[in-house]
């Protein structure tokens, strides 16, 4: 569903992604871990071309997004992203946050976007908050709204970049529970997170990044029981 082929990314003279090749299959749940600065965000942002690779190709559903005149914005509609800082529109209500992109970008009729928006809010346990503003919600609630907003675009792929890192500990579980629900429904997911409990429950594959490269990948069990590289062991000893 997503393929990065020999992707390199430079920021000036800083070589941030080094020859990354990775394929995510339809329905697969991939968890990406690794030290701060190792390139996790840059890699996941290449998956919907929020970052453009310096070289290499990014293919989503068979469409090469790095080709000249590629329909990037069209493809992006099927690849939703949830960020560490929820990025809700502060001057829009919760429900307006959910209906804005589907109506403006996809041309979904307003009534339809409202109906599906309310259904997704119900799924994340926030239907009663439809008409409040983001600032009236806790961090965990805001992140669940951000997830519902992403879902209301009916994406085929969900990208999450450290979705619980900005949350107080007691709110992490409510967000992870929503993500586990989604995973169980079969949506394709790529998740940057250090929540290894989440990885153990849902990941088909864990990828360890170090210094712009994929150093090691395998099942969650592989990482818990038998990581290969010293750097992986050191990293895991710090987060577990």
Q: Which residues bind ligand ADP (CB under 6 A)?
A: 11, 14, 16, 34, 36-42
Between 16 and 206, whose beta carbon lies closer to ligand ADP?
Answer: 16
Which among 40-48, 67-75, 148-156, 206-214 is the span making contact with Mg ion, rule CB under 5 A?
40-48
Contact 120, 129 (CB under 8 A): no
How far apart are CB 40 and Mg ion at their closest, in Å? 5
How far apart are CB 37 and Mg ion at their closest, in Å? 8
Between 38 and 48, whose beta carbon lies closer to ligand ADP?
Answer: 38
CA 57 from chain center: how many Å? 19
Taking CB under 5 A as the rule, does residue 97 contact Mg ion?
no
Please list, in sequence order, all residues whose beta carbon lies within 8 angstroms of the beta carbon of residue 37, skipping any fewer than 6 positions away.
none
How far apart are CB 20 and Mg ion at their closest, in Å? 15
Q: Of 41, 59, 103, 188, which lies in the binding site for Mg ion, with binding defined by CB under 5 A?
A: 41
Which among 26-34, 41-49, 128-136, 174-182 is the span making contact with Mg ion, rule CB under 5 A?
41-49
Contact 46, 81 (CB under 8 A): no
Q: Which does 188 bind (CB under 5 to 8 A by kind): ligand ADP, Mg ion, none?
A: none
Contact positions vs Mg ion (CB under 5 A)? 41
């Amino acid at each position: 569903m997503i393929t990065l082929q020999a992707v390199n990314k430079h920021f000036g003279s800083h070589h941030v992604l080094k020859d990354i090749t990775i394929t995510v299959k339809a329905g697969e749940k991939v968890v990406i871990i690794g030290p701060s600065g190792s390139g996790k965000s840059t890699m996941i942002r290449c998956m919907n071309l929020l970052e453009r690779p310096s070289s290499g190709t990014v293919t989503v559903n068979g469409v090469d997004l790095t080709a000249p005149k590629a329909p990037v914005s069209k493809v992006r509609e099927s690849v939703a992203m949830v960020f560490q800082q929820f990025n809700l529109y502060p001057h829009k209500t919760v429900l307006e946050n959910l209906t804005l992109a589907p109506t403006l970008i996809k041309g979904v009729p307003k009534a339809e976007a409202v109906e599906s928006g309310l259904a997704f809010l119900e799924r994340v346990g926030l239907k009663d908050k439809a008409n409040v503003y983001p600032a009236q919600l806790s961090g965990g609630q805001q992140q669940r709204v951000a997830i519902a907003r992403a879902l209301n675009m009916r994406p085929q792929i969900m990208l999450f970049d450290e979705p619980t890192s900005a949350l107080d500990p007691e709110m992490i579980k409510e967000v992870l529970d929503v993500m586990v629900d989604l995973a169980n429904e079969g949506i394709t997911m790529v998740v940057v997170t250090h929540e290894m409990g989440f990885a153990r429950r849902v990941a088909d594959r864990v990828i360890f990044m170090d210094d712009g490269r994929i150093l090691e990948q395998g099942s969650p069990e592989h990482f818990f029981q038998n990581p290969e590289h010293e750097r992986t062991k050191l990293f895991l000893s710090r987060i577990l």
